[in-house]
Chain A
């Protein structure tokens, strides 16, 4: 069947409408709030640091994918406790994981920068020694002290030279 333009538009609209339906039917991302929530110092501004205040001294639990620390020691919801498990609680929708029967959300609503309780942060203002800092990764200018910077400049200049020569001489074109 050859589609006319009118039919084509109708078909595209139909496809657009039909595709999201299964997704809507499976909306199940709501998660219970965790009991122990670390408080934060507020939403990060662009390029700022995001500070996470903890009741307990900063542990490696949050940094270590192979965390074997006991849950009561860590205020951060670790993803797994198995040495071979970087992301043990794979079900973000909150369904129970057979390997780890006490599911903890990866993304707890209370940890959302936009939904932070700034008041609680002020209450915990004296815990500087127990705080961890997450620096948001950004593009940075390369320092000239970087190892091999001069050689990198040389490689770049050489590539410019090759491009310039090819553009000037146009061999084979």
Chain B
């Protein structure tokens, strides 16, 4: 009887359409990193909606409202912890997903557009991370915003919409909050929808190398079940981290001071800035152009990593440079000021 009810429900909701076949290697950790990233994003959305109930997007009260949430609201600290750690886990799984796609050359014909969508999603996540850092409005947030505004100022007319001059009289913090909770998530969701559509349209990229092409096929619903388990694991990890470690939160900023370092995701640019201030503008542009150019530069048919030594060298070099800059940024002290 239960089976009959499930079948009826499937037919009514059209769920049988999800039972199409996909390659069997979809149910592996390395091919589920994108799904894990999406799980973290879902947790971020839900926890963000709850957090928004307690946040006051007013420069005068923003920091106080976060402190109130952390200290006074029942489970408020846990909620913020979940939001914070979901962002951290998302960063890790997203970068690992990017590395996997690069290693398996999944950006090659016919999936170039999906690579570009992935780069756009990466950009959105960076923006969400940045705006999330700013809206807690402590010293770290203030300094992050000050650097951002310097960059926007250097961009002249192009950067104008990102400055306070664009909407004088409106607190910039309020606009950043609006971007964090509406503009950026909406654009991200649209891009994510397109990203998933093209995964479906072009099908999951084949597994390169000798182990690939085993021919095993599974139903997409089996992959959904696998992702559900992965998502549960991600949620458990996030809860555990939120339970154990409280995310950083300072007091209201002392304006004019520059004493903090950015979160680890941005600390590499802090190190570069220490070498050469215009890196704040140049480095993101170089990285973005590098990522965008990947499918147009590497157009050979080979997808197995062992037969792509140059690509692997570029990847390894990039990872080492970033790791080195992050480590250096963590230990170095700023030797100049803007």
Residues in chain A within 8 A of chain B (CB atoms): 2-3, 5, 8-9, 11-12, 15-16, 19-20, 22-24, 26-29, 31, 43-44, 50, 52, 61-66, 76-79, 82, 84-88, 90-93, 95, 97, 99, 104-109, 111-115, 132, 134-142, 146-148, 151-153, 155-156, 159-160, 162-163, 166-167, 170-173
Contacts and interface: CB of A to CB of B under 8 A. Distances in A.
Interface residues of B, number: 86
Interface centre among A31, A50, A172 (most CB of B within 10 A): A172
B256 A44 contact: no
Interface in B10-66: 27, 59-60
Contacts of B168: 85, 99
B127 interface: no
Contacts, number: 258
A146 B153 contact: no
B259 A107 contact: no
A163 B299 CA distance: 41
A111 B299 CA distance: 50
Nearest to B221: A172
Contacts of B165: 90, 97
B255 A79 contact: yes
B77 to A, nearest CB: 5
Contacts of A97: 165
Nearest to B274: A114
Q: Which of A26, A90, A163 has the most CB of B within 10 A?
A: A90
A151 B75 contact: yes
Given A19-B289, A162-B232, A171-B225, A107 B248 contact: no
Nearest to A62: B254
Given A19-B285, A142-B81, A151-B75, A88 B164 contact: yes
B242 interface: yes
B78 A92 contact: no
A97 B334 CA distance: 27
A59 to B, nearest CB: 11
Given A19-B286, A63-B254, A106 B278 contact: no
Given A12-B290, A112-B337, A148 B282 contact: no
Given A66-B59, A148-B78, A173-B229, A29 B140 contact: no
B310 interface: yes
Interface of B: 27, 59-60, 72-78, 81, 138-140, 143, 145-147, 149-150, 152-154, 163-165, 168-173, 221-222, 224-226, 228-229, 232-233, 235-236, 239-240, 242-260, 277-279, 281-282, 285-286, 289-290, 293, 296-300, 310, 333-338
Given A52-B254, A147-B72, 15 more contacts: A8-B298, A9-B310, A50-B257, A65-B59, A76-B256, A111-B258, A113-B333, A114-B333, A136-B250, A140-B245, A140-B248, A142-B244, A148-B75, A152-B239, A173-B225
Contacts of B150: 29, 92-93
A44 B257 CA distance: 12
Nearest to A7: B297
